[in-house]
Structure 1
Amino acid sequence: MRRPHRPQGGTATRAGLPAPPVWLRLLPVLYVVAVLLVEPATPVDWPVSFVLIAVPLVTAFAHGPVVVGAATVFAIVLEGVLAGTPCCAGRSVGYLWDRHYVASYVCTALVGVLGTLLAAHRIRRERTLADVRFVAEIAQRVLLRPVPHRIGNLLMESLYLSAAAEARIGGDLYEAVPTAYGVRLLIGDVRGKGLLAVETAAALLGAFREAAHDEPDLPALAGRVETSMSRRATQLGGNETAERFVTAVFAEIPAAGRVVRVVNCGHPPPLCLRAGEVRELDSGRSAPPLNLGVLVGDPYHVDVWPFRPGDQLLLYTDGVTETRDAAGAFYPLLQRLRSWGALSPRELLERLHEDLLAYSGSRLQDDTAALAVCLLPEEASAPAPAG
């Protein structure tokens, strides 16, 4: 089962080459054993030892050039032993230097050379892939920095799942920034895929992280991010970029108040989990997605919702609700949340991750990001008295 990608703090280290599966490493041995078991039972006219020619290639799947070279020498020697043993297959004499067997030795040597080159090429490609993964991991840490597990009286966790098994970054994004106005949250989904979507996500996050400390309210914050995205689209030019947009939710939880303020820009509405109840925070007054607001010109609307101690806020991208099962049915997020009961942010996202993979048969159709924030009860958020 694939684990969720959770960006963590600390220094990234370059990973070594992935170890092949045990069965693949043992495949040459199993192959030779099978030949030795079958050889005595076959007629002289059917020398099974000829299939030892494939040993170098079988070895090249999981081992390096040195091991492949050693396997080649072993295969040639074993072919000679089997050919020169009179008792094999009822022979009265050996055929060590018979021209057919000599041709087998030569062919095995040639295949061994090819297998050695193949193993060297495979290792070189694996090292390149390991370097690419390492760079992608660094880019992930820069783009999606780990959210703090606790800010004041708020507990929070993040989740990122990539639809591609080897992918690390994409167009889904999230952020949590403590400011003088409270903790400001962002979750978004860039239209499209590929490098341009990653660049758009990076630009949006950079604008949000800067503006979150300066703008006094959420409409101004959303407007400033909108301006930044429109400016970037103009600079890049091209029809494809002009059509690219980002759905997003901006949320603010003030330090003193017991409310959450939300500005929705065409994104799935946040959910509030409270004592077994799950409620969509949706007033029906969503603004257009970012980079499309200039086409409408309507001001951003702020929705204010109660957010009491013990409540939990879940922000997510449409990769969650658009996950399909084998029959094509969409993932029933609200139904699942109501059935799970009270969970901490970490437990909630771990359960969500496992359930999404189980529901889709580990075949996610889209990238998925989620951010869970819980307001601690008064007794849990208050500092412990000094001894």
Structure 2
Amino acid sequence: MTTEAVRNAADFDAAPTTPEGWVDRAREVATRLSVDAVARDRANQVPTYEVNLLKESGLVTLLGPVEHGGAGQDWTTALRVVRAVAAGDGSIGQLLGYHYLWAWAARLVGTPEQIAAVEQLYTENNFFFGGAVNPRDDDLVIKVEGDELVFTGRKSFSTGGRISDLTVLEGVIEGTEKHVFAIVPTQQEAIVFAGDWDNLGQRLTESGAVEINGVRVPWESAAGYVKQADGSFEFQPRVYNTLNVPLVQIIFANFYIGIAEGALKTAATYTRDTTRAWPYAGDVKESASEEFYIQETYGDLTSKLWAAEALVERAATLIEAINSHADEVTEQERGEAAVVIAAAKQVAIDVGLEIGTKVYDLTGARATSNKVGLDIAWRNIRTHSLHDPVAHKRAEVGRYALLGEIPAPTWYT
């Protein structure tokens, strides 16, 4: 199967009706993506057809309301789906995970009316989200012009970019400290993508720069802002508003684990089918699969991968508990979830990078051929795991273990 086959591989059965069915659907998508993942990574093209595959599979509206045609699934299922897709193609797993986060953005900060409108819009239209919310850059500047907010500025990273239908913007109202999130159509003259994403890994995530040149948004679309009696708009904060960072961090951990799982599976196939036993050993084996050190290493790496999976599953239960009472969630609940997610992320990075390196010990010199493509896993995890320094995640867990201290909400905790 080539990229052309991926373009045409839209012949899915009826939509699943159970969480397990949706994870199986994600594995089906991953299988289709994995066939030519190496060629597509090398080509570094805009992943238009890959996103269409996600749409046609039904995965894009996994979290969407059933009454609008969505699957109405929970975050536990969404994270498992991200993990499964990432095993076939890490870039597409990341895109899907970010889409789920931004599709949930209205629930995090919006009013009930805004939540209903956004979820109906993206679910009925099968829209895909991107986001221009890189916190390391300066905030977009927002000018108030009558009943409209005008966003202007630049972001050096905007995952989803040119293949998104909707883009999440975040900025600060000029002369204030008021942050505003807004969801806008991607295809408009005031949003200009640089198309400059050409990095070591995660090459198909459309994460390049974007210029925001006067995107106009009505006040009524400023997420979470409510019109007051005097005509002004005010935001009423709650702890749940800060869940966006724990959510995106647990998404990271899941697609790292998915990438590592895919690498280990690819390596195992290569070891069984191609790798030769070492002919100068004291106890020469007929096949590489019988070599003790190869069996031991696969056992070690698989055990570590399973441990990482257990940790992200534990984190998901905390997210579900928070979602069950979003209006009453406490700072302590949020903080404890953030700590477990920090632990899951660092373990996922460590295991993923180790697997990305040791697969070569398990496959041999010929597996370094570019056509094999085992380098993709290490490149993908190495690239994205630099999103924010993992040392700070270790320290967050350490402060909790030593001092009982939970992390204060920031753009990265």
Higher strand share goes to which structure? 1
- Alignment TM-score, normalising by the size of structure 2: 0.19
Larger radius of gyration, structure 1 or 2? 1
Question: TM-score, normalised on structure 1?
Answer: 0.20
Q: Which has the higher helix share?
A: 2
